[in-house]
Amino acid sequence: MASHAAPTAQSPPIPAGLSRDQLLEIYRYLRLTRTLEERLTALYRQSKVVGGLFRSLGQEAESVGSAYALERGSHRDLMSPLTRNLGSMLVMGAAPIQILRQYLARAESPTGGRDLNIHFGDLERGYLGQISHLGDMIPVMAGIALAFKLRREPRVGLVYIGDGGMSAGAFHEGINFAAARRVPLVVVGEYNHWAYSTPPRKQFAVEHLADRVKAYGIPAVSVDGNDVLAVYEATRFAVERARQGKGVHFIEVKTYRRKGHAEHDDQHYVPQHELEWWAKENDPIDRYVQRLLGSGWAEEQELKEIDERVRVEIDAAADACLGEPAPGPESALADVYGDPPAAERLWFRSV
> Residues interacting with ligand TPP, by CB under 6 A?
82, 84, 132-134, 162-165, 168, 190, 192, 194-196, 257, 261
DSSP letter for each residue of 196-230: TTB-HHHH-SSS-HHHHTGGGT--EEEEETT-HHH
Out of 96, 113, 135, 162, the residue judged to bind Mg ion by CB under 5 A: 162
Q: CB under 5 to 8 A by kind: which of ligand TPP, a copy of itself, Mg ion, none does 173 bind?
A: a copy of itself
**Nearest alpha carbon to residue 232 among 41, 88, 329:** 88
Are the CB atoms for 136 and 82 separated by under 8 Å? no
Write a three-state SS string for 119-173: CCCECCCCECCCCCCCCCHHHHHHHHHHHHHHCCCCCCEEEEEECCHHHCHHHHH
By C-beta, is 162 or 284 nearer to Mg ion? 162
Alpha-carbon span 8 to 224, nearest angstrom: 28
192: contact with Mg ion by CB under 5 A: yes
Q: Find the shortest distance in angstroms from Cβ 327 to a copy of itself.
A: 36
Residues 159-178 that bind a copy of itself (CB under 8 A): 167-173, 176-177
203: contact with a copy of itself by CB under 8 A: yes
Q: Find the shortest distance in angstroms from Cβ 176 to Mg ion.
A: 15
Alpha-carbon span 120 to 61, nearest angstrom: 21
Alpha-carbon span 173 to 335, nearest angstrom: 30
3-state secondary structure of 188: strand
Out of 3, 22, 41, 198, the residue judged to bind another protein by CB under 8 A: 198
Residue facing ligand TPP at closest CB distance: 162
By C-beta, is 19 or 132 nearer to another protein? 132
Stretch that binds Mg ion, among 17-25, 50-58, 93-101, 186-194 (CB under 5 A): 186-194
Q: Which residues bind Mg ion (CB under 5 A)?
A: 162-163, 192, 195
Site residues, a copy of itself (CB under 8 A): 167-173, 176-177, 179-180, 182, 201-206, 211-218, 247
